[in-house]
Chain A
């Protein structure tokens, strides 16, 4: 079965650079969620999109932005990177529209971002 695809899997950036993370949800899923998991930490919700509109916002820094495109994939853009942004970034998808589907969130493998 198709899963949530994230790219790249690993990314190394220098301080003050920008990074773009991509997420391709499970087919027919209309909702995408982004999480940040720092070293030894639990995942923290950043932001979510439903049908290409921002649906909820968590502890996402102002330096970060995200969007969901017409094909439902999503991108997380991170600017002015700081050392503290080094983390594992997860994307998850679910279907809110189709209640016949399992509505729990399915997570991708994550993108490990290292800021040096």
Chain B
């Protein structure tokens, strides 16, 4: 069975500060990992995905994540937070057969202060 754990249900940063959202995974097979963002009352938008190519993955809106097998981690970062980044972020894992059957983490709400 696959699972992901997001450390910290709430993260608060100042505008312009580094954003770091943590995600650790558990998988018996090579995982496919994703980060999704959800704005209030909106659907899930894909930020980036890891599918066993480059371990450093660049996504939209300046976000990136690094796959570290030794640490079973896939943390999401952004060098400089913007007010528009305030949202809930979900880390998710799937097996190779079906990228849409996802197991999500509990989510991290990002608050950005001016």
Contact = CB atoms under 8 A, between A and B. Distances in A.
Q: Is the interface of B mostly helix, strand, loop or mixed?
A: loop
Interface in A27-62: 31, 33, 42-45, 48, 55-56, 58
The contact size tier of chain A is 20 to 34
Contact of A105 (B102, B103, B107): B102
Contact of A43 (B44, B46, B98, B99): B44
Contacts of A104: 34, 46, 49, 99-100
A17 to B, nearest CB: 23
Interface string A86-110: 0000101110100000011111111
A42 B104 contact: yes
A112 interface: yes
Given A31-B98, A33-B100, A56-B98, A42 B42 contact: no
B41 A112 contact: yes
Interface in B4-57: 34, 36, 41-46, 49
Interface of A: 4, 31, 33, 42-45, 48, 55-56, 58, 90, 92-94, 96, 103-110, 112
28 contacts: A31-B98, A31-B100, A33-B101, A33-B102, A42-B90, A42-B105, A42-B107, A43-B102, A45-B101, A45-B102, A48-B101, A55-B98, A58-B101, A90-B44, A92-B44, A94-B98, A94-B99, A96-B98, A103-B99, A104-B34, A104-B49, A104-B99, A105-B46, A105-B99, A105-B100, A108-B43, A110-B42, A110-B43
